[in-house]
Structure 1
């Protein structure tokens, strides 16, 4: 299998200048070719493919006013065209919106294939630079990377992602199986009654973020003070995102390590997030990302992750007798079954039902679909 290993690195002034130039060239090539393809369709009804776009890029480099494109490696520029072609393929397949132009204020990326970097003696060298990158190797790479992606986020931090071949090691088989019900009060509740709680990272930093955004709004556009204020807002957003991802990785790893089978509920998060009152809380919970992590970690560890149908009434159905309540408001957190008299905690009861249905589905060969969450 292939796996990406991401590390932070600290470039030297010369490397930072080279990367800034590379990011700018990648952005210019992507935006100019995208404009050319869009105009060709609207003006002449002409559909442009990757080969024509690549030919246009070659001609672009030969123009006298664009000779500076030759000062950086051509590999990340060509890779940006491949990414653009993939974006168009996703658009025509209905999986994404029309490709948009890249902004210099957002995340910057440059992808290097094997001909544009060297990995030797534990050091990583990129094209056009003689000194190795100062990478903080938190763990060793399992093999030499086939692709390296260098990125700079809005907070000004540099990262390198190395795509490597690795051999997954299955965890010892255990008899434990669990059903989980995701929510907002608790990120998930298990069928045994364990509740994780919800750190609510966005709400925790809401006042501080609002203060920084007000200060940003008062700064004059184009000034250095505005750039500094924008950097502070970006760093705070990065902190919130890092805290959220760290918590999700720890929870998903704990579930995969302790259970042979994990049963979850498929949720259409994109539809649920349209709720104006709960959209921010749902986005902060990141149910889709949590399910995605369970899926690939389960595959690596030899575990089974099963997603049940999203329309299954897990909360309204009695886990003792199977009676289904006709209606149940969201604020009802506990209820008594009118059929058998069992007293249920809403979330624990849902987790029990999800586990029962998930084990049944597993017997018929069902597995998780990360895109369904």
Structure 2
């Protein structure tokens, strides 16, 4: 999307060193009867935002649903670099650089849900309403506009495990948490993933796959990456579970895309990933089984196992470590924020090639 330079309505963006104390808490210009809808300028933001680096803005009375958000980033007096996150550390905008006196408008669609982060957490986990966090080297926000999402908003839903989910706390990050940054307004990422989830548990728990299906409509897309926790699932059951998910998604008019799992950073003595790294158990070669289901059901496939294998082995055992949390806590399965972004980029690239999503950044 081309960069758009605009003129601010007034100077005084919230930025590093900006004084929030004493600012007038004015009511936002209303876009509807809901009190949180409308545009908040610099002085009005002082009523809902705290901090300077990061700046955290909370709209606690917004119910669950999808919202179009437009932000103006920059400051009249100083250069800045601002990254925008929503809810549980979901990346909505990569770092946007602005020169002093220059302002950039960016828009995105965000899903507000309960629980806020991992879908298998208890209801009420996380902050109520919508939370927007303006981070980065020198975060600056001039204004925020919030409106109900257009009824034609396309959902990109994620059904996955801990490597996909919205991880609430650093240093952990799932690739699904970084995926929203690749979409423009009009696409809402709904991450119905959770740590420890398998094809068995996703279908067994009412708050997981069952809770997602009624949200789907014609034109929506569901990415399914489940395998890491199917260690005790036999091949026949694994394939049947994936087939059930595909059929139920299709019954809603949506498209199910199978995504083979990211590799673990587990190498053999030959310098190549071993069976554990390639998600092959004593009962099944799970990526191979998923590929077979995709072929049998004529379902789109993103072979993230093959792509991540090529990447990790290509970098080598040492240089690929920053993708994971090895140097932080020895974790060779879960990704760092950097690694989650790398894998989200691969998924976005493959999804774009499939031509299933309408609005890309």
- Shorter chain as denominator, the TM-score bin is under 0.3
More strand by share: 2
More helix by share: 1
Which structure has the larger Rg?
1
Normalising by structure 2, report the TM-score.
0.26
Normalising by structure 1, report the TM-score.
0.25
